[in-house]
A and B are shown apart, each in its own frame.
Chain A
Amino acid sequence: MTSALEQSAGLRAALPSPAALAALAGQIRVFADYQRDFSEQTDVVVVGSGPGGAVVAKELAERGHRVVLVEEGPPFVPGEYEIDAGLSMARTMREGGLRATSGTVLPTMQAIALGGGSLVNSAICVRAPEAVLARWSRDFELPHTSRAELDPHYDAVGDFLGIAPTPEAVLGRRNTLFRDGCRALGIPSEPIQRNVRGCRGSGECFTGCRARAKQSMDISYVPSALRAGARVLTSLRIERVRMSGRRAIGVEGHVVEPFSGRASHRARIDAKIVVLAAGCMATPVLLQKSGDLANSSRQVGENLQFHPGVAVMGIFPERVDPHFGATQGYQSLHFIEAGYKLETLWAPPAILAVRLPGSGLALKQRLSVIPYSAIWDAIASCNRSLGRVRARRFRTLDPHLSWHLHPDDVPILARAMYSLAEVFFAAGAHTIIPGVHGVAPEMRSLREAEIFLTHPRRATDYVMGGNHAFCTTRMHGDPRRGVVDELGCCHDADNLYLADTGVFPQCPSVNPMWTLMALARRTGLAIADRL
C-alpha cells in the first residue's frame, strides 16, 4: 500500500503544467471577471453545476462538444468553508437555508455554489432499489429505466468518483452503535457507500469538507469538464430560456454578486442544445418564467415530493463522542418496502440541539449529555404526499413551495420513529429523545415508544426535514402525463433537456444523488449522439 506522502507526490506529478493550469483557470469566469454585458455561443449550455449538470457537462465535453456550464453561486475553496452552522447556511444555501413549504410546513434546502448540493450533502450514494425502478418503468411507461439498464451508468459514475463503503476506521461510535443495534435485532445494515476519498471522519459534510475528501462536483466532475475544454461561468443567474418555435435557442440572465444576489451585467448564451439542471425547485420556475415552457401536460411544477425525514436522539451510558466519524456512515435498507430507510446522522451540533426540549437550566442539563448521545434518522417514501412549485415575482429563482403530508403517510413516520427507538434500545441506549409534540419528551423503554404505533399523531406534531426533492418535471412515456421523455428531452421542445431530480417520476426511496448522476450521464450520452 502506498503512503499518503507517496500518493501526494504522484498526484503532483500527474498535474497539468503551470501553463496548462493557468489556461484551465482561464476557462472559468467568476464574479470579478465580468466587466460588461456579454453574449456567447456554444453547442450546449448547461444551467446548474450540481450532480446533474456537472455530469452532463463532463460527458459532452469529453466527447468533443463545446460546452458552457453556468452556475449562479460562486466556487468555494476550503479556507472559505464557514464551520459555524448559521453562517455556513447563509453563504451556501438559497434563502439562507431557511426555505420551507407552505401547507405542511417542511424546512428544505437548496445549495447555491459551484457543485450544487454535492458541496454540502453527506456524500451518500445508493443505487435505487430494483423494485422502485421496476415500478417507474411499469407505471410511467419508461421501458429503459430498469435497474439493469441503469447499472452501466451507475458503474461509470461510481468508478469515476471512487464510490466505496465507509471505511471502518472513520465510522466512530455513533455509526458502530447503529450497527450493533441492528445486529442485536437481526436487521441487516451496511456501511454507507459514499463519493469520498481519504475521509478523516470530521463529520463536517454539511458545512463543506475541509479535508477535501468528499468528491463534490466542484472538485471532481467540473475540473474534468474543464480539462476536456468546457467553460464554466459562475455567479451567473439564468432567468429565461429563449425559444424559436419548438426549438430552444439559448438562455439569458444576469451576473449576480455572490451572497447578496444583486444583479449587474446582462448575459446571453446562444446554444444548439439547452440543458436545465437548476434543481427540482428552480428548473420549473425557470420554465414558468420563460412563458410556461414545455407545459402542455400541465405537469411543470406539479407532483413535488420529498423524503420527509425524522430523527431520534439516544443517550448511552458510555461516551459516544458523536462529533467524530463519517457524517452518515451506516444505514439499513430493511424497511424500504415499509416506506422508510434508517441511517445514522451528524450535523452541526447547534442544528441538532434545537430539537432538545425545555428552557433554562433544564435545557443546559440536557445539552450536557451530548457527548453520550447519537442521532439517527429515517427518510420516508411518501408517494401520496404531493405539492407544487410556483414562480415568485421578480427575477429570483427562489420558488413558492406548497406541500401537504398525506394523512395516510403519517403512520410511515410513526413506524420509522418506533424502529429508530428499537435500534437505540437494542444498542444499549438508556433514554431516547423523540422530539415529537404531544408525546413524552424523554422515553426510557421501548414500551413507552409504542405510542407511535398506537397513536401515530398528526403531521404537525413531527419535527421533519425535507430531505431530497423530486418530480416537479417528471419523466413519463406519455407526453400528456409528463414533461420529459426517458432521455430527459422535453416532450414539447426538440432540444431542451432537463437533468435534475425534477425528472424522477416518484421518490426513489433512497438518497437520490447516484441515481441522478446515472440518469444525467444517460442524458449526456443521448445529447452527444444527437450532436
Chain B
Amino acid sequence: MHRPFRARARALDPRAPGMLAPMWGKLAAAGLALLVLKRVAWGYPRPPRRYRVLFRGEAAVLANAAEAMYPRGGAIEASGLDADIPGYVDRLMLASHPRIRLLIHLLIFFVEHSTLVFRAPGHGGFRRFSALPHAQQIAVLDAWATSSLFFRRLVFTSLRSLCTLGYFAHPPVIEQLRVAPLAIEPRVCEADLLYPPVGRGRDAIAWTARDVNAPTDAVLPLDPDGPLHPLRGSR
C-alpha cells in the first residue's frame, strides 16, 4: 500500500492505536464546556411574566436577590417578591439611558457569576448565585457587604440599591413604615400655563389662568397623619 494512503486509513480507523486518546480528550473538553455553559447560562426557570428589558436569567437573579434581602415575614410583612422587584428593575431600565441599562445588565451578570470565582461560604459554593440555597445567598450578600475589597462592597451597594428602590416602590411597604408620600392638592403657577407635558405640544397644556393658585406665602403644613398620595397608599 502506498505509504501516505496507509497513514490516512489509519487516521480514519477509530480502532487504530492512539486514535481514541484525542477523541476522548475532545469529548471531555466538550462535556466540560457544556457543564460550564450550564452553570453560566442554562437552566433558568420561566419568569412569571414577560419583561421588556430583563432577560430570563436576569429576572431569576433579581428574584433570588430580592428574596435574600427581603424575605417574607419579619417586621415588614411584604417580601421582595411581593414587591415585584424584578418588574420594578425592568421598568427602571426601560426608563433609563442605554448606557445605564448596559451597566445594570453588567451588574446582574457579575452578581450571578462572581460566586463561580469567589466561592460562596459553605458546601458547594462554586455555583452561580441564583443556584445557591437561600441561606447561602444571604451569606454571600453579607460577605460582599462586609468585604475588605472595596469593589465587592460597591457591587453589593449597587445591587442593594436596585432591590431597595423596588421594595420601597411597593405601597404596602412604605405605608407600613409611615413614609408614604402625603396627598397634596394640585397647585398651579404661572409657569404651568407655559409648559406642555414632556414630549407633547403646546396644545396639550392643561391649565388655564383660572387654575392658578400658587405660589402663596401662607404656610399650610401637611398633616403627617393625613391622607396619602392616591397611588402610594390607602389611608
Contact = CB atoms under 8 A, between A and B. Distances in A.
A170 B222 CA distance: 8
B196 A32 contact: yes
A169 B76 contact: no
B12 interface: no
B188 interface: yes
A324 B199 contact: no
Given A84-B165, A200-B221, A359-B141, A368 B76 contact: yes
Interface string A494-515: 0000000000000000000000
A367 B198 CA distance: 35
A365 B75 contact: yes
Interface stretch (B37-45, B52-60, B171-179): B171-179
Interface stretch (B23-31, B110-118, B202-210): B202-210
B171 to A, nearest CB: 11
B165 A86 contact: yes
B194 A199 contact: no
Interface in B126-173: 138, 141-142, 145-146, 150, 153-154, 157, 160-162, 164-169
B181 A197 contact: no
B23 to A, nearest CB: 48
A343 interface: no
Given A90-B100, A200-B222, A361 B165 contact: no
Nearest to A172: B224
B45 to A, nearest CB: 22
B199 A32 contact: yes
Contacts of A1: 218
Given A25-B205, A96-B100, A219-B190, A91 B150 contact: no
Contacts of B169: 84, 86, 350
B99 interface: yes
B181 A202 contact: yes
Given A25-B194, A367-B177, A8 B214 contact: yes
A363 B160 CA distance: 11
A360 interface: yes
Interface string B214-229: 1111111110100001
B69 to A, nearest CB: 5
B217 A7 contact: yes
B216 A7 contact: yes
B178 A30 contact: no
Given A4-B218, A204-B181, A350-B168, A24 B224 contact: no
A12 B209 contact: yes
A199 B103 CA distance: 38
Interface stretch (B2-10, B13-21, B90-98): B90-98
Nearest to A217: B191
Contacts of B150: 105, 460
A80 B161 CA distance: 23
Interface residues of B, number: 81
Contact of B75 (A83, A167, A364): A364
A244 interface: no
Contacts of B108: none
A368 B217 contact: no
Contacts of A129: none
Contacts of B234: none
Given A8-B213, A260-B97, A78 B186 contact: yes
B71 interface: yes
Interface residues of A, number: 90
A85 B213 CA distance: 27
Contact of A218 (B103, B184, B191): B191
Interface in A249-282: 258-261
B124 interface: no
A62 to B, nearest CB: 16
Contact of B196 (A30, A351, A354, A360): A30
Contacts of A260: 97-98
B187 interface: yes
Contact of A354 (B154, B160, B216): B160
B177 A213 contact: no
Contacts of B103: 98
B217 A367 contact: no
A152 interface: no
Contacts of B157: 354, 463
A184 interface: no
A364 B229 contact: no
Given A201-B221, A211-B187, A364-B70, A11 B194 contact: no
B48 interface: no
A323 B179 contact: yes
A74 interface: yes
A24 to B, nearest CB: 6
A70 to B, nearest CB: 16
Given A348-B168, A350-B168, A354-B160, A198 B179 contact: no
A83 B199 CA distance: 19
Contacts of B198: 31, 74-76, 80, 258-259
A15 interface: yes
A528 B154 CA distance: 49
Contacts of A348: 168
A33 B232 CA distance: 34
Contacts of B98: 260
B100 A211 contact: no
Nearest to B156: A359
Given A80-B197, A212-B192, A353-B164, 6 more contacts: A4-B218, A86-B92, A90-B97, A219-B190, A361-B71, A364-B75
Closest 10 CB pairs of A and B: A350-B168, A368-B75, A75-B195, A197-B215, A324-B224, A361-B74, A86-B165, A219-B191, A32-B201, A212-B187
14 contacts: A4-B218, A15-B190, A78-B186, A79-B206, A86-B169, A90-B95, A96-B96, A105-B154, A169-B219, A211-B184, A219-B192, A258-B198, A365-B74, A437-B146
